[in-house]
Amino acid sequence: MKRVLGLTAALMMSTALAHAETVVVAMKGPGSGNPFWAAVQAGAEEKGKEMGVDVVVVAPPQESDIQGQIALVEDQLAKNIDGLAIAPTDPNALAPVIEEARKQGVGVVFIDTKGINDGVTFIGTNNEVGAALAADYICKNAPKGSNVAILQGIITQSTGQARAKGAHDGLTACGLNVVAEQPADWDTAKAQSAMENILTGNPDITAVFASNDNMALGAVQAIKSAGLSGKIIVVGFDANPNAAAAVLAGDMAATVAQNPHNMGALGVENALKVKHGETIDPIIDTGTVLVTKDNAADYQ
């Protein structure tokens, strides 16, 4: 009898040890069709395999689907997860569900987009610094005093706000005139439409900063349709492979590289550190690099 009990206890212990912890990576949009989120997912999943951790990636169908993201996170919290690395679609709207996760003892970190919850580490790009890099490039390549434009992301998000501010401050500081700032919600089609409107009202602009590469490529289409190819500097943000190809082709002048793969990997790793009570830095900067024709091949 003692031997049976001993074997049962050993089996239970073995099962407990074999149970992998689960980290949910809640992205703002799906990886399919968006190289940035695909890279975040790949980094998270690779780090999960390395650590022996189960990684579950969830995302609403659109980056503007706030309630969809909330529902996905709530569903995962009901499954007793261990860690949550989240890029909030709307930091204010997601704050309550994030607090609920913390009350449950889930280790939480923000990736890509900083939330408003006090004490939660942000892992990602210093977006204001990255946008300033883009602005500096435009300043060096556009005539002083010329007119320029900015295509904004979702401006209620901290990412959209920081990129818009970094670009605006940098462009005006060097003597350029920001004559148009229009949101296009990170979307290519919306950016093309917004750029068409900007060109109608400001046919003399010399450059446009788009807060992500999807919007930059939309701007390129509008510029081509207007017969202005080669006359307007287009700078994006993310250094996605299709944007790197556009830089090499001369359709875009530059883009700003992030490290989304690292965001996913560090998100998984640090969410578990928080779960285990370890102290981590309040901000973990994954860095930015200006990408031009000189180094664009490295990002294809």
Residue 33: which residues within 8 A CB-CB, separation 6 or more?
none
The domains of the chain are located at: 2-124+260-284, 127-257
Q: Do domains 2-124+260-284 and 127-257 have the same CATH topology?
A: yes
Band the pLDDT of 157: cuts 50, 70, 90: confident
Q: What is the pLDDT of residues 183-210, one digit of tens each?
A: 999 999 999 999 999 999 999 999 999 9
Given the structure tokens 């992500």, which residue do they identify?
A: 212
Q: Which DSSP symbol is given to 237?
A: S
Q: What is the pLDDT of residues 112-122, one digit of tens each?
A: 999 999 999 99
Residue 68's CB: how many other CB atoms inside 10 A? 15
| The architecture CATH gives domain 2-124+260-284 | 3-Layer(aba) Sandwich (3.40)
**Cα separation values, 57 from 132, 222, 228, Å:** 31, 34, 41
Structure tokens at 200: 């109608």
Q: Is 48 exposed, middle or buried (0-12, 13-18, 19+ CB in 10 A)?
A: buried
8 A C-beta contact, residue 186 and residue 212: yes
* Residue 2 confidence (pLDDT) above 70: no
Residue 59: which residues within 8 A CB-CB, separation 6 or more?
26, 27, 28, 29, 30, 31, 37, 69, 72
- In CATH terms, 127-257 corresponds, of 3.40.50.2300, 3.30.70.260, 3.40.640.10, 3.30.200.20, to 3.40.50.2300
The pTM (predicted TM-score) of the whole model is 0.75
Q: In this predicted structure, what is the pLDDT of residue 182?
A: 97
